[in-house]
Amino acid sequence: MSFADLVGRLEPNNTAPLYMQLQRVLREAIHGKVLPRDTPLPAERDLAEEYAVSRITVRKALLGLEEEGLLNRRRGVGTFVAGRVEKNFSKLSSFSEDMLSRGRRPHSAWINRSVGEVTPEEALSLGLSPGAAVYRFHRIRYADDAPMALEYATIPAHCLPTLNAVEDSLYEALERSGHRPVRALQRLRAVSLSAEQAELLGATPRDAGLLIERRGFLSDGRPAEFSLSVYRGDTYDVVAELGDRRALDPSGRWLWGRLRNLDAKRQP
């Protein structure tokens, strides 16, 4: 069976650009698990021959899927269905949104949720007065059946109607109450997983981890979220888009394309 027979062929009467048609075929195959994670794709030349399109069309289609986080290109090796999750720091999104956009099923295992008075550290991060009420959420975040991260979130009580308003997505609950952050400050650093963290994440103590601290703000500048998330370092990459102001044309577009190779740690 050829690759095109496995994942699907282009529709002869479809008027959409060829690169978009090829993206759709590959995207549906990835989301439908026809192409499992870490599956290598044929070389660009072979894909071009298989689908009777130019290599430029294939390259454009693959680049778009790479930007969506569905593919990983490994220099000198080839292109693979993404097995690791890439988090783009240029976009403010929730864990659930990140996983859904990559065809993964997000869900949580609750460790604890509680209401209490703000601590000095939380008060400083959230701009709250001593004694202010906050909601605290501690849970394990999963993508499909794989544990990805431990999340510790503190939310001012006035941002949510009740403690139980959060079902699976914190940002969905905040959006329903009109308090979804519109911007955030994030800080990332490498850590070693403690014995407790490793047990919860199905890892080994002292394995590499990524600690992401986020402070989310409303449109009026008030803080609405203070969270600490510990990710397994072997499943998560951080990607940032970089640019040089001198490379902008008058319309504000990049002249040289996009940079996507700022990883949280080097891949082999």
Mean pLDDT of the chain: 85
Is 84:208 a contact under the CB 8 Å cutoff? no
Q: Whose CA is closest to 104, among 146, 138, 62?
A: 146
Instruction: Supply the pTM of this predicted model.
Output: 0.62
pLDDT (average), residues 166-188: 94
* Least-confidence region, from 13-22, 76-85, 181-190: 76-85
Q: How confident is the model at residue 258 (pLDDT cuts 50, 70, 90)?
A: very low
Q: What are 80-116's pLDDT values in tens digits? A: 887 666 666 667 888 888 888 767 788 999 999 999 9
Q: Burial code of 35-56, b = ≥16 C-beta within 10 A, e = fewer?
A: bebeeebbebeebbebbebeee
Q: What are 34-78's pLDDT values in tens digits? A: 998 778 999 999 999 999 999 999 999 999 888 777 887 777 778
* Percentage, residues of the chain above pLDDT 90: 54
Cα 261 to chain centroid, rounded? 15
pLDDT for 263 beyond 80: no
pLDDT for 127 beyond 80: yes
Taking the CA atoms of residue 10, residue 16, residue 20 and residue 24 in that order, the dihedral angle to the nearest 10 degrees is: -50
d(CA 251, CA 244): 15
Q: How confident is the model at residue 264 (pLDDT cuts 50, 70, 90)?
A: very low
HSE-CB at 118 with a 13 A cutoff on CA atoms is: 22
Is 77:71 a contact under the CB 8 Å cutoff? no
d(CA 227, CA 210): 13
